[in-house]
Chains A and B, each alone.
Chain A
Amino acid sequence: MKFLIKNILRIIPVLFIISLIVFLLVRVTGDPVSLMLPETATDAERAQLRESLGLNDPLYIQYFTYLGDLITGDFGESFRYNQPALGLVLERLPASFGLAFASMLVATLISIPLGILSAIKRNSFIDLFITGGAVLGKAMPNFWLGIMLILLFSVQLNIFPVSGTGSLMHFVLPAITLGTAIAAEMTRLIRSSMLEILGQEYIRTARSKGLLEAVVVNKHGFRNALIPVVTIMALQTATLIGGTLITETVFSWPGMGQLLIQAVNLRDMAVVQAATFIIALLVIISNLLADLAYRYLDPRIKYD
């Protein structure tokens, strides 16, 4: 309990620092006024818009106003949509969560059998194939893989829809795109974790008892190898969110990733701030959950 409270309290300064960095970055990298008005806008129109967006105040005043509003949960209004930024972000979360969950499912379904297989058949032809595939899976850029999958499975073979949402079929290609890199990472991890466990004394004992190899691998090996894997899954949240930025754009998936990308392009400050704040919060929470899961799965681990 003490551990939990301490960690929750630790979130506050982290979020505070993140909000400051994002606040400054968005303002340093470009002027929303120039991006919102056409080339033909006059100086007077520019000045007017600048005024009504509140961009004429000195930076520190803008920051204090922002902080003050933040405490009451107000992230300001989106320049693009003229709507409260937090609402826009939260309204996109379900779509992103759905995609993230499906990707995790894909990653798990691929990595567990492959990881175990390559550990059992260590140094064999199969093992080389799997580890080689994992390297490739990790190395392939997200957007490229997405476009290739569309070309193959949608355009050529016409099995899955190209983009958008609406049915379970719509999940398949984006989930594979986003899940591949995570599957690659997890396969390698499961393999090495399994190898370590399979070399343990108690596995030899189990085998010498005459247990079936399948039981040895499953019950004695895999269960124990799972501990680091579960935590790694939680720690992949950041990778997942980073991946959604690109995957959602390629598949025109109406999630938070696409919202954030467009907000950055248009310097829609309030939305960038709200989205990064929520993402930071999600990453922190998932790290905390990883810690808790670790403690739960392996009671020997204690933190102070």
Chain B
Amino acid sequence: MKKLLTFGLLFVLVFSLVACSSNSSTSGDEGSVEKKTEDDKELVIATGADMVTFDIHDHNTTSTEAIHVNMFNYLVKRGEDGFDPDLAESWENVDDNTWKFKLREGVKFHNGEELTADDVKFTLERVANDNKLLEHGNYSQIKEVKVINDLEFEIITHQPEPALLNRLSRLGSGILPSKYIEEEGWDKFLENPVGTGPYKFVEWKKDDRVVIEANSDYFGEAPKWNKVTFRAIPEDSTRVSELLTGGVDIATNLPPSDWERVKDNEATEVAQGPTQRVMMLVLRQTEGHATSDPKVREAIDLAIDKQAILDSLMEGSGTVTRTRVTPGNTGANEDLYGKTLYDPEKAKQLLKEAGYGDGLELKLSAPNGRYLKDKESAELIQAMLGEVGIDLKLEFLEWSSFADKYASKSFDDMFLIGYGNSMFDAALALDRLSSKQAEGETDYNNPEVDKLLEEAMSNMNAEERAKQYQKAQEIIAEERPQIYLYQLDAVYGVNKGLNFEPRLDEMLYVDDITVK
């Protein structure tokens, strides 16, 4: 028996040595990856989830669109300042409901067919009219696309739609080859998708890889890579190991626990950049809830040290904010970005004034595993609120049960959530706080905010519209129906031989990735 024990222990020891040596490796020689070099014309990117479909109108996943952007083109591209031409060369507002576009000449689909206004009509009317498609809600504002000639067309909206260009420069707007689809059928397209982009489809092996190759007929700058592979590797540690061994050049969604490993390796580094996702607490103002008292809401805000959460859970990545409409979005209020309030003494004072000097019990519901460190953040918030005398009861829910409660608007005092914004427009971010939509959820009701949101909704004067949204954000920051915590960063592991800049929209335009 003794012998058995000895050998058992030895076995365990060997394995734990392996485990430890890789976790605490500081020598920088872990893995065998070498830096990417100039003559290497193949790029491999590992993502956490497989692409879901080539039906560009029937999905809403960022990680799928991140691949599609290399195969399809939008009419316009979101630029640094406003919108840049892509398939459309120029555009103008004919009247409030009519937008006139002119297409670039000589653009060819991967199958050799020429791009015409008919393709635009086919693409946009499909998603605008078919309410079974997941993206329908974001395009139902379009009434029709009127073809003027091969290169010119008009988009007519039901109501004035100031955010039309925002809609046309995102998921669901890649222009499809109408002739190919009408002749060969939709199933054929899904098997062998055709776009206008710099890369064409080679193969998709589900839950394994998507392969694309350079399109030599591309109308823009020549593609930089011969072949690009997107591998789906759901397990975090496997994805990191692939990066460390040179199996992949870029790994998305790097968990904080693995940053050290990637940084310590000689040939890999960590790249991070802001995303559209802002974490927040949503507070009920319904009568009978202590959170209906503005002083209590302010006290909660002041009691939470947001920067400390970022520092202790996310290695300092992420940006504190007092608004959800962050820079890069139409109508962003930059005065509220990068700012945070933290004053526990004042928080105690406010609670006393509100009549809760002897303590207050509140309930917070939070998802577990949906967002980066969501559970841990909620626990830190609990501790911080405890410091000022708020006894916070936590309820953790697996995402699908959380989503059920969210949909039925049946949370108690507060819930923790992270909202994205694929529209890059303040409307999508703020409309939830109009009294009509907030009913039953926050029960927030401010006629001034309602009026600002209502007017901005159809205001075709871009400058004035932005001001209306900025004003609304100021009021919301003071009244706190939502307490904003921070904007999350996207974190990537990257081969040091590559230039890679994370994008705010998390798209992976492979031609923006170059060898150093």
Instruction: Give chain A's interface residues, CB within 8 Å of chain B.
Output: 29-31, 33-46, 48-49, 52, 80-82, 88, 91-92, 125, 128-129, 131-133, 135-136, 147-148, 150-152, 154-156, 158, 161-165, 249-252, 254, 258-259, 262, 267
Contact = CB atoms under 8 A, between A and B. Distances in A.
Interface string B132-161: 101011000000000000000000000000
Contacts of B400: 29-31, 34-35, 267
Interface of B: 3-4, 7-8, 11-12, 15, 18-19, 21-22, 30-32, 50, 52-53, 55, 58, 60, 131-132, 134, 136-137, 205-209, 231-235, 237-238, 241-242, 244-245, 247, 398-401, 403-404, 406-407, 417-422, 428, 432, 437
Pick from A35, A41, A147, A162 the residue with the most CB of B within 10 Å: A162
Given A42-B137, A81-B52, A136 B208 contact: no
8 tightest Cβ-Cβ pairs between the two chains A and B: A34-B403, A30-B400, A254-B208, A254-B207, A158-B32, A52-B132, A252-B233, A151-B22
Contact of B245 (A30, A38, A147, A155): A155
Contacts of A155: 22, 30-31, 241, 244-245
Contacts of A128: 3-4, 7
23 contacts: A30-B400, A34-B404, A34-B406, A39-B420, A46-B407, A48-B132, A125-B3, A128-B4, A136-B11, A148-B15, A155-B31, A155-B244, A158-B31, A161-B245, A162-B241, A163-B242, A164-B209, A249-B234, A249-B235, A251-B238, A252-B208, A254-B208, A258-B234
Contacts of A30: 398, 400-401, 403-404
B16 to A, nearest CB: 9
Nearest to B423: A40
Nearest to A34: B403
B241 A258 contact: no
Given A31-B404, A150-B237, A251-B238, A36 B22 contact: no
Given A39-B418, A156-B21, A82 B58 contact: yes
Contact of A156 (B18, B60, B208, B418): B18
B245 to A, nearest CB: 6
Contact of B18 (A46, A152, A258): A152
Pick from B207, B209, B233 the residue with the most CB of A within 10 Å: B207
A49 B238 CA distance: 35
B245 A39 contact: no
Given A30-B401, A259-B207, A39 B417 contact: yes
Contacts of A37: 60, 134
A92 B207 CA distance: 10
Nearest to A95: B208
A165 B208 contact: yes
Contact of B206 (A42, A43, A88): A88
A154 B241 contact: yes
A36 B134 contact: yes
Contacts of A254: 205-208
Nearest to A46: B407
A161 B32 CA distance: 12
Contact of A80 (B22, B52, B422): B52
A40 B134 contact: no
A271 B245 CA distance: 34
B235 A250 contact: yes
B406 A39 contact: yes
Contacts of A81: 52-53, 206
B425 to A, nearest CB: 11
Contacts of B241: 150-151, 154-155, 162-163
B185 to A, nearest CB: 14
Contacts of A152: 18
B234 A252 contact: yes
Contacts of B136: 48
Contact of B131 (A33, A48, A151, A250): A48
A251 B22 CA distance: 18
A35 B231 CA distance: 23
A225 B76 CA distance: 73
Nearest to A136: B11
Given A249-B234, A252-B208, A39 B419 contact: yes
A224 B401 CA distance: 54
Nearest to B29: A156
Given A30-B400, A49-B134, A129-B4, 8 more contacts: A38-B420, A40-B419, A81-B52, A81-B206, A125-B3, A128-B4, A148-B19, A252-B234
Pick from A31, A52, A135, A252 the residue with the most CB of B within 10 Å: A252
Given A125-B3, A262-B207, A136 B8 contact: yes
A98 to B, nearest CB: 13
Contacts of A88: 206
A88 B50 CA distance: 14
A29 B419 CA distance: 24
Contacts of A251: 235, 238
Contacts of B437: 42
Nearest to A53: B132
Contacts of A44: 137
A30 B397 CA distance: 12
Contact of A151 (B18, B60, B404): B18
Contact of B232 (A33, A156, A252): A252
A89 B258 CA distance: 33
A154 B240 CA distance: 12
Given A151-B19, A162-B242, A258 B207 contact: yes
Contacts of B31: 155, 158
Nearest to B243: A162
B233 A163 contact: yes
Nearest to B209: A164
A18 to B, nearest CB: 23
A250 B137 CA distance: 36
A31 B208 contact: no
A45 B235 CA distance: 32
Contacts of A33: 407
Pick from B50, B399, B406 the residue with the most CB of A within 10 Å: B50
A267 B234 CA distance: 17
A154 B245 contact: yes
B432 A135 contact: no
A156 B247 CA distance: 14
Given A31-B400, A52-B132, A147 B238 contact: yes
A147 B206 CA distance: 23
A41 B399 CA distance: 15
Contacts of A151: 18-19, 22, 241
Contact of B428 (A40, A45, A156): A40
Contact of B11 (A46, A82, A133): A133
A259 B49 CA distance: 12
A203 to B, nearest CB: 27
Pick from B4, B399, B404, B417 the residue with the most CB of A within 10 Å: B4
Nearest to A163: B238
A84 B405 CA distance: 30
A45 B137 contact: yes
A142 to B, nearest CB: 12
Pick from A135, A165, A262 the residue with the most CB of B within 10 Å: A262
Contacts of A136: 8, 11-12
Nearest to A161: B247
